[in-house]
A and B are shown apart, each in its own frame.
Chain A
Amino acid sequence: MECSAHNKKCSGIKSWLFTTDHKKIAVMYLTVSLVVFVLALALAAVMKIEHWSGGKDIIDAKTYNVFFTIHGAGMILWWIIPVFTGFFANLLVPLMIGSRDVAFPRLNALSFWFFVAATVMAVLALVTPGRLDIGWTGYPPYSLQSGSNLSLYVFAVHMLGASSLASAVNFITTIITMRAPGMTWGRLNLTIWGIFGANIIQLFGIPVLAGAVTLLLFDKYLGTNFYNAAMGGSSMLYQHLFWFYAHPAVYVVALPAFGVISEIVSTFSRKKIYGYTSMAIAIMVITFLGFDVWIHHLFTKGVEDWARIVQSLLTIMIGVPTGIKVFNWLATMHQGKIEFRSPMLYAVGFITMFVIGGVTGVGNGLISIDLHVHDTWWLVAHFHFVLSLAMTTVAFAGIYYWFPKFTGRLYNERLANISFWFILIGAIFAFGPLFEVGLKGMPRRYWAYPHEFTGPFRVSVVGGYILIIGFLLTLINIIRSAFKGERTTANPWNAKSLEWTIPSPPPHYNFEEIPVITEGPYEFGKK
Chain B
Amino acid sequence: MTNEKTTSHSIKHHEAELSVWPPMVGLSSLLMIFGFMIAFQWKLPSMGMLVGGAGVVMLIISLFGWTSEVYKSSFEAGLSKTAIIVFILSEVALFGGLFGGYLYNMFPAPEWPPINTPKDVPPLGTALILSVFLLSSSWTIHKAEAHLEEGNTGGFKGWLFLTILLGGIFLIGQAVEWSSLIHEGFNVSTNSFGTFFYTITGFHGSHVLVGIILQVFILIIASRGRINRERPTIVRACGYYWHFVDGLWLLVLSLIYVLPSY
Question: Is A149's CB within 8 Å of the partner chain B?
Answer: yes
A458 to B199, CA, bound (A): 50
A207 to B88, CA, bound (A): 11
Q: Are A173 and B82 in contact (CB under 8 A)?
A: yes
| Chain B residue at minimal CB-CB distance from A15 | B18
Question: Is A352's CB within 8 Å of the partner chain B?
Answer: no
A387 to B10, CA, bound (A): 42
Q: Are B93 and A109 in contact (CB under 8 A)?
A: no
A130 contacts across to B, CB distance below 8 A: 41
A10 to B40, CA, bound (A): 43
A429 to B62, CA, bound (A): 52
Q: Are A20 and B79 in contact (CB under 8 A)?
A: no
Among A227-235, A358-366, A432-440, the stretch that binds chain B is A227-235
B189 contacts across to A, CB distance below 8 A: 223-225, 231
Contact of B93 among A17, A207, A231, A233 (CB under 8 A): A207
Size bin of chain A's contact surface: 35 or more
Among A85-93, A176-184, A467-475, the stretch that binds chain B is A176-184
Question: Is A276's CB within 8 Å of the partner chain B?
Answer: no
A10 contacts across to B, CB distance below 8 A: 16
Q: Are B86 and A203 in contact (CB under 8 A)?
A: yes
Known: A104-B83, A105-B17, A177-B79. Contact between A113 and B25, CB under 8 A? yes
Q: Are B195 and A226 in contact (CB under 8 A)?
A: yes
Q: Are A210 and B17 in contact (CB under 8 A)?
A: no
Q: Are B97 and A106 in contact (CB under 8 A)?
A: no
A232 contacts across to B, CB distance below 8 A: 105, 109, 114, 191-193
Q: Are B26 and A225 in contact (CB under 8 A)?
A: no
B262 contacts across to A, CB distance below 8 A: none
Minimum Cβ distance to chain B for residue A254 (Å): 20
Size bin of chain B's contact surface: 35 or more
* B-contacting residues, A1-18, CB 8 Å: 1-5, 9-10, 14-15, 17-18
Render B39-76 as a binary contact track against A, CB cut-off 8 A, 1 for contact: 01100000000000000000000000010011000000
Question: Is B3's CB within 8 Å of the partner chain A?
Answer: no
Q: Are B94 and A208 in contact (CB under 8 A)?
A: yes
Among B29-37, B127-135, B163-171, B177-185, the stretch that binds chain A is B29-37
A203 to B90, CA, bound (A): 5
Among A211-219, A397-405, A444-452, the stretch that binds chain B is A211-219
B15 contacts across to A, CB distance below 8 A: 2-4
| Chain B residue at minimal CB-CB distance from A221 | B40
Render B1-18 as a binary contact track against A, CB cut-off 8 A, 1 for contact: 100011011101111111
- Max chain B Cβ within 10 angstroms of own Cβ: one of A21, A155, A169: A169
Known: A104-B83, A151-B40. Contact between A218 and B188, CB under 8 A? yes
B residues in contact (CB < 8 Å) with A = 1, 5-6, 8-10, 12-23, 25-27, 29-30, 33, 36-37, 40-41, 66, 69-70, 77, 79-80, 82-83, 86-87, 89-91, 93-94, 96-98, 100-101, 104-105, 109, 114, 188-189, 191-196, 198-199
Between-chain CB contacts (< 8 Å), 19 pairs: A1-B17, A1-B20, A2-B15, A15-B18, A104-B83, A106-B21, A106-B66, A109-B19, A110-B25, A112-B22, A173-B82, A181-B6, A204-B89, A206-B90, A218-B188, A231-B195, A233-B192, A240-B100, A240-B104
Closest 5 CB pairs of A and B: A113-B26, A207-B94, A232-B192, A109-B22, A208-B97
A residues in contact (CB < 8 Å) with B = 1-5, 9-10, 14-15, 17-21, 99-100, 103-107, 109-110, 112-114, 116-117, 120-121, 130, 149-152, 155, 158-159, 162, 165, 168-170, 172-173, 176-178, 180-181, 203-208, 210-212, 215, 218, 221-226, 228, 231-234, 237, 240-241, 244, 508-509, 514
- A sample of 16 more A-B contacts (CB under 8 A), given A151-B33, A203-B93, A514-B9, is A1-B19, A2-B15, A18-B20, A106-B70, A113-B22, A117-B26, A149-B37, A152-B37, A158-B33, A168-B86, A172-B86, A203-B90, A207-B91, A226-B199, A244-B97, A509-B16
